[in-house]
Structure 1
Amino acid sequence: MTYLSESIPQLFYPLIIIFIYLTILVTIAEALNRFINDDPELTRKVVHIGSGNVILLAWWLNIEAKVIVAAAVIASIIALTSYFTPILPSINSVGRKSLGTLFYAVSIGVLAQAFWKDYPQYTAIGILVMAWGDGMAAIIGQRFGKHTYRVFDINKSWEGSTAMAIATFIVTSTVLLFSQGNSAQTWLIAGLIAIIATALEAFSKLGIDNLTVPLASGLICYGCYQML
């Protein structure tokens, strides 16, 4: 009984902290969605970037992989429900049908299951690359994207893709520096991830980049360090 009484607070206190963080995030996003009606993409990306940062909170609080996977499953169900019924306007309010939020949640679950126990840095890299890279690509591309190009029937801007590459490089190199130290491999791998993630983000039909970018970023980082 003593062990059980001690383990319950250790499990629930971190979850309460994350729940409070996410509640504040969604509240802010919904408020922005009400007051900034002319820029729904901005409010959606506030949720996108903010929810990705939860992985750093989970890492700091040492939350178990099974908890993250369970949360990803719940988020997937909510995202799928919101796809058909707009229960969260700040997430689905950009005038297009997309499964991006669902793919985002699935990628978090897959990365947590694959790496969280022994290599949490690769889970963090995959999720943060998608959160900050894709988020900044959308924000910069929407506001400053003057030079466009097409990937099949998808319009992209060089300004947005550049923002994606820079954000990805910064995120990847920062996590690798803190987790594996300063070395030539750190900078080479960060550069490689920036190139690959930016190329994958250029093809975002139905939000599929929310699955391909994080999974490729995490897996390639892991593979490169295993080889090197």
Structure 2
Amino acid sequence: MMSSWWMAPVSLWLQLGLVGAWIGLIGLSAEWLYRTKLASPEVVRKVVHIGVGNVILLAWWLQTPAWLGISASIAFSAIAFLSYRFPILPGINGVGRKSLGTFFYAVSIGLLIGYFWTIEQPEYAVLGVLVMTWGDGLAALVGQRFGKHPYTLWGIQKSWEGSFTMAIASFIVSSSILVNVQGNIWQSWIISLAVALWATGLEAFSKFGIDNLTVPLGSAAVAFLLSTLLFLG
């Protein structure tokens, strides 16, 4: 009994320590880049976007309990929302435009963990978060740097280069997770393609940063529903 009592707190504290250390490293790196002006504010924002999103992999690997992930999501959602009004996170929100994207991002992680962790299928939460993490992050960077062919959708300007990057990154993320979980079978590849196309469409509408909510939730939902239909069928 003493052994099990001792191991549970150590395991939980280890999880908190690893996640906290990772987020702290990302935060310090972002602030350093922002203050030294070695990178533009938008690049700094995407460094945080990609870095923080990968915490979901730690949570999956460490089998972090759902309540802990949800609690962290609530805390970061509150901080992100307050920073929208006050200069709490200048390195993240100093891009010269008002957006609730960071807030939506934190909320989406909490919602995905809250649902898929409780039904013991965390891979779909991981898929949704990482599609947003890598797909949207890389699409923005590529679009701004190499976007030579713009298009306008619902009053929002995007580039074909950025959207193509979103589709490729989303497909790579989805297939990597699904092939690892489901196996190297045709269903995994078809579902990954569907997720990539759906996520790219959702990302095209990013007004007010709403894509930080619709892309992860929509990607996870499509992967989960298609997996259920194809494997039950």
The TM-score bracket by the shorter chain reads: over 0.9
Measured after TM superposition, the shift of residue 35 of structure 1 is 2.3
Distance (whole Å) between structure 2 residues aligned to residue 180 and residue 68 of structure 1: 24
Equivalent in the alignment of 1:61: 62
| Unmatched 5+ stretches in structure 2 | none
Taking only the aligned residue pairs, the percentage that are identical comes to 52
Structure 2 residue matching 1:150: 3-state secondary structure: strand
Equivalent in the alignment of 1:79: 80
Measured after TM superposition, the shift of residue 153 of structure 1 is 1.7
Deviation larger for 71-80 or 81-90 = 81-90
Distance (whole Å) between structure 2 residues aligned to residue 146 and residue 35 of structure 1: 29
Distance (whole Å) between structure 1 residues aligned to residue 91 and residue 187 of structure 2: 39
Q: 2:145 aligns with which of 143, 146, 165?
A: 143
What pairs with 1:121-136 in structure 2 (closer than 5 Å)?
Answer: 121-136=123-138
Measured after TM superposition, the shift of residue 4 of structure 1 is 3.7
| Unmatched 5+ stretches in structure 1 | none
Equivalent in the alignment of 2:156: 154
Distance (whole Å) between structure 1 residues aligned to residue 39 and residue 73 of structure 2: 31
What amino acid is the match of 1:113? G
Equivalent in the alignment of 1:70: 71
Structure 1 residue matching 2:197: 3-state secondary structure: helix
Measured after TM superposition, the shift of residue 38 of structure 1 is 6.1
Distance (whole Å) between structure 2 residues aligned to residue 112 and residue 47 of structure 1: 20
Distance (whole Å) between structure 2 residues aligned to residue 152 and residue 40 of structure 1: 26
Equivalent in the alignment of 1:16: 17
What whole-Å deviation, never above 9, does each CA across 1:4-37 have from its counterpart, x for those lacking one? 4332112111111110111011101111112236
Equivalent in the alignment of 2:173: 171
Equivalent in the alignment of 1:7: 8
2:20 matches 1:51: no
Deviation larger for 171-180 or 4-13 = 4-13
What whole-Å deviation, never above 9, does each CA across 1:113-148 have from its counterpart, x for those lacking one? 110241111000000000000000100001000100
TM-score, with length taken from structure 2: 0.95
What whole-Å deviation, never above 9, does each CA across 1:63-95 have from its counterpart, x for those lacking one? 111110110000100000110012111210111
Preserved CA contact (<8 Å) 2:33 2:39: no
Distance (whole Å) between structure 1 residues aligned to residue 99 and residue 173 of structure 2: 25
Distance (whole Å) between structure 1 residues aligned to residue 174 and residue 94 of structure 2: 30
TM-score, with length taken from structure 1: 0.97
What amino acid is the match of 2:129? I
CA RMSD of aligned residues (A): 1.2
Q: 2:200 aligns with which of 198, 210, 223?
A: 198
Distance (whole Å) between structure 2 residues aligned to residue 30 and residue 47 of structure 1: 10
Distance (whole Å) between structure 2 residues aligned to residue 205 and residue 149 of structure 1: 15
Aligned residues: 228
Distance (whole Å) between structure 2 residues aligned to residue 64 and residue 151 of structure 1: 40
Equivalent in the alignment of 2:112: 111
